[in-house]
Chains A and B, each alone.
Chain A
Amino acid sequence: MSEEKRPERRLLDAGRATRTMRWVMAIMLFLTVLAAALGLGALAASRALDRQLAGRLTIELVEPNPIARDHDAAQVLAMARGDRNVAAARPVDPARLAKLLQPWLGAIGNDPDLPMPVLIDLDLHDASDLAVAALARRIHAIVPAARLDRHAAWMAPVTGFMNLLLGLAAGIVLLLALATGTVVVLAARAGLETHRDTIEIMHMLGSTDVQVARLFQRRIARDTAIGGAVGGIAALAVTALVGTRLAGLGSALASGATLGPGGWIALAAIPFLFVGLATLAARIAVLRTLGAKL
């Protein structure tokens, strides 16, 4: 039934308080969706890092004698390619290595007489400490001086930072949800006080507490929905803009932070969740307040 045909819904006068409530909700939802976008972006980046780095390690063979070095490299590569835990084994191209070292060594890096280490990248099926230790034993049996670098180990600070961002964003979302609930409870209590006469009339006409609560629930749900739509759409637009900028940076980490369809759906769902939260908070606040009266 339309609002026009349910005039009792107009019992609570809509005025300045309603407009203020909608703006408050718009701001809360804007901040919440942005915080959630930050968290989801950090989560996506963290997962992308995990995918890229968790099962990867690099073997470094340092041997001044080029013949012995090439021999060691061939043996280690052959062992790795025959290992069931190794998905792929690739020697790093010496030219690429020289380019990587160029900032430190300059033009001398291209000198064929300079003893350069051999690097072999491995992708592992099982990157657990136990499996990596077993593989290390097999490699050291061939080349005792070989060094193993687990990529996850040196990317741990980045992953830790991403997890910190994720936790921070989750905390902000929870705090904003709590603040929104508190705002709704305060608004409902203020509304009860403002409309005390109307509520008393309704009670005297035989209205139940639930009927009175529904008036507030509808009002607050509508205000949250309108405010949430404004704040949510604005936050989604900002998120899309930032995502476009991140994608343009050309960084693997930044690209990993962009949201997939699931992330966008989760962000779009937040205003609906807040409408539910606000409605529930209003109901509880009104019923508790009315329950203390006759």
Chain B
Amino acid sequence: MANIVQFENVGLRYGAGDETLSDLSFALTSGAFYFLTGASGAGKTSLLRLLYLAQRPTRGVIRLFGEDAVTMPRKRLPGFRRRIGVVFQDFRLAPHLSAYDNIALPLRIAGVREEDIEQPVHEMLTWVGLSDRIHARPPTLSGGEQQRVAIARAVIGRPEILVADEPTGNVDPAMAERLMHLFDSLNRLGTTVVVATHDIQMIQRTANAQMMRLDRGRLLDPTGALRFPPSERDG
């Protein structure tokens, strides 16, 4: 299968300090499921920010959907970002909008007509088990409910890549299990999933997932070889 993301000698430095990420070279295959793991401060969030185009690297090449994402003109970024779903560690829901409107936001930004929004949003609310909380605003939702709204918002636009930063960090084990099941379902529909976590048990419970380990800004496997190479994934 084709590579959907490719990093070549990527480095990232904030300000004048040491590099947060160094010499990252790897490729993500379209339709695969990846875990990104490492200790706190290893650079997981920084790597994800590069993936969802919130940050440009200091050096190196990033190819996204076959195009150079480093030199890509700024005006082209929104189109690429719409192909990437992001679940933030702190949810980042719009506090003044209901659960329904938060989930509908990507579609509205994409210019989808109002009459074409209602059905997919209701389906998504049902999918994440929040059909009874449709009018609730984020401050009135529990952490787990907010996380599910964030996930629904990230996937409603049928992104080609889903990036999730510690998506189970704020929920109980049962909810974490349920959320991972949601990610797995989405992956089976063809979305490439990248989940940053340090929950080793969760990684072990997820079949066919591949793992990238970061340590102080470097991939522990410098060759880019992953635990389950794509060719062996379904073998």
Residues of A within 8 A of B (CB): 1, 5, 7-8, 10-11, 13, 197-198, 200-208, 211, 291, 294
Contacts and interface: CB of A to CB of B under 8 A. Distances in A.
Nearest to A202: B109
B82 A205 contact: yes
Nearest to B55: A294
Interface of B: 52-56, 74-75, 77-79, 81-82, 86, 92, 94-98, 101, 104-106, 108-110, 114, 153, 157
Given A1-B114, A205-B106, A294-B53, A11 B96 contact: yes
B52 to A, nearest CB: 6
A205 B81 contact: yes
A63 B55 CA distance: 97
Contacts of A7: 97-98, 101, 104
A13 B137 CA distance: 13
Nearest to A293: B74
B77 A5 contact: no
Contact of B52 (A11, A204, A208, A211): A204
Given A1-B114, A5-B114, A202-B109, A11 B94 contact: yes
Given A201-B92, A202-B109, A204-B86, A10 B97 contact: yes
Contact of B81 (A13, A198, A203, A211): A203
A208 B114 contact: no
A8 B110 CA distance: 12
Nearest to B52: A204
Contact of A294 (B74, B94, B98, B104): B74
A206 B101 contact: no
Nearest to B91: A201
Nearest to A204: B86
A200 B90 CA distance: 13
18 contacts: A5-B114, A7-B101, A8-B97, A11-B94, A11-B96, A13-B95, A13-B96, A197-B92, A203-B54, A203-B78, A204-B81, A205-B153, A206-B78, A206-B81, A208-B75, A291-B74, A294-B55, A294-B77
